[in-house]
Amino acid sequence: MIYKTVQSSLITFSQLMLPSHSNFSGKIHGGFILSLLDQIAFACASKYSGKYCVTASVDRVDFLSPVEVGELLTLKASVNYVGKTSIVVGIRVDSQNIQTGEIKHCNSSYFTMICKEEDGQKAEAPKLILKDLDEVRRFYKAIHRIEQHRNTSQQLSDSIDYKSEELINYLLEKYNVKIEIDF
């Protein structure tokens, strides 16, 4: 069995934000940032595993503050968790105003990547060596997010009667929707 450190996965990527990256309001387009996130997640997981990796899921992407044209965007990625064939990559995004030096935290995201063999089959990922309490914390939080997602998915699929009068009334009252379904 092969073990590797979190340190062996670290990737930092910086790019100057250009007018061609902006949306109609003059801020950097979220889709452009998502593309950069996916690229660094791939690079981090592939560097760590020594395998081709594909994106299986993105846990969450919250845009905390807008990124301006002319700012330097820096993405930092590391492996937070490793399963049998999956790798959770944590990514932090900061933007820096090059003239003032001010740095803003823009985003934190978690990408689940799957290791692949050359024939496209899933490949086993190297196991993880945790060397400090931050790495233990990130590993534990990743386990918690995975378990929470499994539990939520299971509860939603098993326990809800979408035709119940109670659910319909709840949606009508709380969310101000119209439901036009003939049962």
- The pLDDT of residue 182 is 81
Stronger pLDDT, 171 or 160, i.e. the higher one: 171
Of the given ranges (112-121, 127-136, 139-148, 167-176), which has the lowest mean pLDDT? 167-176
- The pLDDT of residue 172 is 87
- Looking at the structure of the chain, the number of domains it has is 1
- The pLDDT of residue 180 is 86
| Res. 175 pLDDT band, cuts 50 70 90 | confident
Asked if 90 contacts 11 with a C-beta cutoff of 8 angstroms, the reply is no
Residue 160 forms part of a structural domain: no
Q: What are phi and psi of 139, to 5 degrees?
A: -60, -50
The predicted-structure confidence for 132-168, as pLDDT tens digits, reads as follows 999 999 999 999 999 988 887 776 666 778 888 888 8
Residue 87 forms part of a structural domain: yes
- The pLDDT of residue 156 is 67
Residue 28 forms part of a structural domain: yes
Mean pLDDT of all residues belonging to the chain: 93
Residue range 22-26: mean pLDDT, rounded:
92
CATH code for position 45: 3.10.129.10
Residue 179 forms part of a structural domain: no
Residue range 5-15: mean pLDDT, rounded:
97
Give the sheet arrangement for strand 72-82, strand by strand.
11-16, 72-82, 86-96, 103-116, 52-61
For 98, the domain range is 3-130
| Res. 60 pLDDT band, cuts 50 70 90 | confident
Stronger pLDDT, 173 or 53, i.e. the higher one: 53
Give the Cβ contact number of residue 154 at 10 Å: 10
- The pLDDT of residue 181 is 85
Residue 162 forms part of a structural domain: no
Assign 129 to helix, strand or coil: strand
Question: What percent of the chain shows pLDDT beyond 90?
Answer: 77
